[in-house]
Structures are given as structure tokens and as C-alpha cells.
Structure 1
Amino acid sequence: MRLARSVMVIFYLIITAAALPPKNNGTTSSTRRHVHDPRHQHRLGGEPDSARSQVVGNVTGHTQIFCHNETQPPIYFTSQPDNGGPGVYILNADPVPHGAVNGTMFLFYENDHDFVPYLWTVVYPPGGAVFVTPCPTFEGRIVRGDVSNFEGRIVRGDVSNFDGRKHLLGTWAELSWSTNGTAWGDVSLLEGNDGPVLVQALDAANKYKGFSIDVLSNAPAGAWAQKLGTGSWCLDKITSEGGNSVTRAWETQFLDPNSVYLEDNINPVINSINGRFAVTFYAGVV
């Protein structure tokens, strides 16, 4: 137990020390990509056409193998043993507890399965962490969720994310694994921004993408949108289909499109050769 806690603390310190992606220096070059929507597809920069992160429905030569059937309830997980294999650490760097359990709920959604999460857990602040190994074909996102009225069991209506509706608004930490064990990751604000997230590869290269600064505070009135279920306010989506131009203009003042997805022509994606990532969620809203 002491060893496991030490590992978590070490990863937390590594992430925190690395979590300072540069701001734009007065010039903003936006990028656009949306890996969830089958109307779009995403090619990794510098990779052959066959290599993609978070590839979705009907892309030539790729058929997603789902981990979970949406007719089944979400799977609850607690921290799994870390044997050095593929997987992801979820680190909760949000000092504010959310919901009745005094933690934050985190959910794994598979691409094109937006109505029912695949996995979910609760991570306690400050600095709490869990390690999980998704199924080898996972392609999707990790997002903050709602744990309101949670009493140790899930009853329909207790938790907003289990109400059978799409809960897209917020920051997405997007991950996928290829058949050779390599994993791909990025942070996307295309569907909203409910707080900073950093994705870091846990291989020798130690690359990271995302952001750690607060861009919600002081955002202009026209940049906000309300989350479904909880009614919490966060920054609106910026996708071209109904995207909020006020939100886009605000975020591009502070965030580097080489670090986080903002539009379409830059792909801020990293890979992890050993299939291991750490994803840190900073102060945000659910």
C-alpha cells in the first residue's frame, strides 16, 4: 500500500512539474478536429494515413471494436494493480470535492457510444489517483462527471451521466490504443471546457499535451453554456457545427493550438510507445 501511494505521489509531482504548456505569444493559429463525430476523421501529424488516434465510424480500413455494449450498465472500477503494462493513471488535482462522496467522478466513453459510459470511478482530492487498464481496443475519452446523490449504488436518475442522455459539454482527454500496444492521446476543447486537463505519456519520451491554467475565470458572458443534468456553467463548445465564436476567441488568447485541440489544421497528439499515460484533471466543474 505504501509503495502504491508513493507511485501515485511521484506521478502527481511529475505531472505538476511538467504542467506548464506555453501560452500563445500574441499569435494564435487555431486547429480543428473532432474524433467523436463520424463526419470528421483525424490523421496523426507525421504518421502514415493508416495511423490515427481516436478513429471513428466508417473511416476506410478501420472498424472500431467496442469494449462495452450500450445496453449494459457502466462498469465501476477501483484502482487496479500497476504491473507495468498498458493503462492510464487518472490523477485528481482538483482541491474542491464534487458531490456527496467528496470526490470527482471520472468516466470513460467510447467513440460513438455517447449515451452510456463504458467505465466510471470516483477519485478523491487532493492528489488522489487510480490506475486502470481499459480493454485493448479502447478508443474514446475520459471526462469529469456528476456524483450528486450517490449512495453507493446506481439507481436510474441518481447520477446525471447515467440518465441515458448525451453529456458532451466539457474538456475531453482522448485516448486510444493500437494493436501493437502503442497508445495515442490528446486534450480537446472542441466540445467545451470545464477545466484544465493534462495528458502525459509515461514512456521514455515523457511527452505531454493539454493545459493547466484556468481560462474559465473572467471569461466573457457570451462564452458560457450550461451542462445537461447538473446545470453547471462551463465554457461552450467551439466546433464548427453551432460552435461558439466568443468562446473560441477567448480560449485562443491563452492556449497554444499545438498543445490542445481548438480547430482543424494542427493535430496536437502524442503517442506512448509502452501504452501508458497519466491524465491529470485540475480544478474544474461537473
Structure 2
Amino acid sequence: MRLAKSVAILCLTITAAALSLDNSATTVFPRRRYHDARHQHRLGGEPGSVRSQVVGNVTGHTQIYCHNETQPPIYFTSQPDNGGPGVYILNGDPVRHGAVNGTMYLFYENDHDFVPYLWTVIPPGDAVFVMPCPTFEGRIVRGDVSNFDGRKHLLGTWAELSWSPNGTAWGDVSLLEGNDGPVIVQALDGVNKYKGFSIDVLSNAPAGAWAQKPGTGSWCLDKITSEGGNSVTRAWETQYLDPNSVYLEDNVNPVISSNNGRFAVTFYAGIV
């Protein structure tokens, strides 16, 4: 855990420096186009569905799942970091959202929306390191014990990650299914790549932009996907966030790669 804390401090410091120009709350990162981690997973460069939860439906690709939804979620603590592929999850939220030791974070595999694959609790300002199974394709989200009720819990900010057989990893931050607070995904391959956002766009959002989480009953910003998407939410978020930094549109893919398969994902103050 000492190593995790050291990396957490380093990553938070780097992220803070990189975001120091973001005081205007407009463009978070430079405009770029990357391959879409959720939809093509580096399989011949063929794009697939625009919906996050159907990444495995890319032509010629069958997702190899890490976990069967008939099995209970797996609790994990920080794993040893031997320099190989994996992800540091950093809790930048000072509030303990109902958990005794901090905030609960959960991994969901794509198309397995009813039962999480992995879960952990991280104290404010701390971090854990984890390497999901090598074929992981899915998301990390905030949550609590209500995520174990066998229902879908899609509403909120998604930090999406996937790993390809050659060890390259892909990451993005998506608001297509909701927004419960800012998240930054940072590649740890020495190239200094980021996606996501760190500003608070929830506090002053208009009344029509909100939706209620099915488990906790908390209110966060609604989903903006084409099927039942909230146009008020979309209009509000696009005033402050760059679609080349965070998923706001189906036709812009704000995804980064990590050549060594390593990421840091920082969750800032949000709603559970």
C-alpha cells in the first residue's frame, strides 16, 4: 500500500499540473482523435457499436469474459506492482460515501451489467493497484452495496479500459450513460496522455438535466445516449466539456492508448 500511495501522490501531482490550464472550465485537453477502446479493441481497426456496453459486438470479435455473472463479485485489495500491466485507482474524493473506509469502486465487464466483476473500497487520498484478467473490457465506476442487488446500475461516469493481447491498453471517460462526477484516465507509459475532466459540472446544472440512481436514490446528471438521452443534460455538458476529451457524442472517439498497458484513473469528488 505504501507503493500505491507513492504512485497516487505522483499521479495526482502530474494530473494537477496538466490540468492547471483548465481554470476556464472549457476545453480540458487538446483536440485529438484516438482509436476507440470500447468499440474496436484494436481488432483490425474496424469500428463497432457506439454504445459502451456492447463493445464485444465488434465484427469478428468475441469478448472473453473474466467473470461469470452467476458468480459473486470479487473483493480485492491493492496488488503488488511488478511493473506489468494494470491500473491504479486513485480516490480524489474527500467524502466517505457510506463506506466505512472510503468510497467503493467497481469493475463491470461489457454486457455484464447486473453483477460487478471486482470491487474495492479506497480511503480518500489513497490508491490501489489492480490488474484485471488480461482480456478485461469494461468500466470502473463509483458505487455502494446497492450495486450487489442484481439490477443494472448504469447511471454515472464511466472510466472505460480494455487490454489487447499484445499488452497495449485503451482508455476513455464516458458520460453517455450519465455523469456522477469528474474522472481522469492517465496513461502511465511515459507519453503523458490524459482523457476525461476534473471540473464540477454538476453543482449548477439545470433542473431538467438530472436523473435518480436506482440503488442509492442519489441524483446525478442524466444519460445523453441517443436512445432516451436527455437533451438538456447534453446541452449543459457540451458548454463546458470537450467531446475530444470525454465521450459526449457517438461519432467522436476520445480514447488514449497505453503502450505498456498501465493506467492511473483518478475519481474526483462525485455522487454515489
Both structures adopt the same fold (TM-score exceeding 0.5): yes
Q: 1:188 aligns with which of 166, 174, 177?
A: 174
Write the mapping of 1:1-286 to structure 2, written as runs, cut at 5 A. 2-19=2-19, 23-24=25-26, 42-43=39-40, 49-50=45-46, 56-125=55-124, 127-146=125-144, 159-286=145-272
Contact 2:87 2:263 in 1 (8 A): yes
SS in 1 for 2:57: coil
Give per-residue Cα distances to partners, 1:144-191, cap 9 Å, x unaligned. Answer: 001xxxxxxxxxxxx200000000000000000000000000000000
Secondary structure of 1:61 counterpart = coil
For structure 1, the 5+ residue unaligned runs are 37-41, 147-158
| Partner deviation per Cα, 1:232-286 (whole Å, 9 max, x = no partner) | 0000000000000000000000000110000122110000000000000000000
On the 8 A contact 1:44/1:267 being kept in 2, the answer is no
Aligned partners of 2:58, 2:41: CA distance in 1, in Å? Answer: 14
Separation of aligned partners in 2, 1:69 and 1:280 = 27
Q: Is the 8 A contact 2:101 2:121 kept in 1?
A: no
Q: Alignment partner of 2:56: what SS?
A: coil
Task: Provide the C-alpha distance between the structure 1 equivalents of 2:147 and 2:57, rounded to a whole number of angstroms.
Answer: 27
Report the identity percentage: 81
Deviation, 1:72, is 0.2
Shift of 1:13: 1.6
Q: Which residue identity lines up with residue 268 of structure 1 in the other structure?
A: P
How far did residue 9 of structure 1 move? Answer: 1.7
Cα distance change on mapping 1:20 and 1:199 into 2, 3 Å = farther
Task: State the shift of 1:50 in Å.
Answer: 4.4
What are the ranges of 5 or more consecutive residues in structure 2 without an aligned counterpart?
none
Q: Secondary structure at the match of 1:136?
A: coil
TM-score scaled by structure 1?
0.85
1:169–1:4 distance in 2 versus 1, CA, 3 Å: closer
Give the direction of change, closer, same or farther, for the CA distance of 1:244–1:253 in structure 2 (3 Å limit): same
- Check 1:100–1:246 CA distance in 2 against 1; reply closer, same or farther (3 A cut): same
Residues 108-160 of structure 1 deviation map (CA, whole Å, 9 limit, x = unaligned): 000000000000000001x11000000000000000001xxxxxxxxxxxx20
Residues 270-279 or 257-266, more deviating? 257-266
Q: How far apart, in 2, do the equivalents of 1:102 and 1:81 lie?
A: 21
Aligned residue pairs: how many? 261
Paired residue secondary structure (2:270): coil
Are the aligned partners of 1:187 and 1:198 in contact in 2 as well (CA < 8 Å)? yes
- Cα distance in structure 2, aligned partners of 1:3 and 1:138: 24
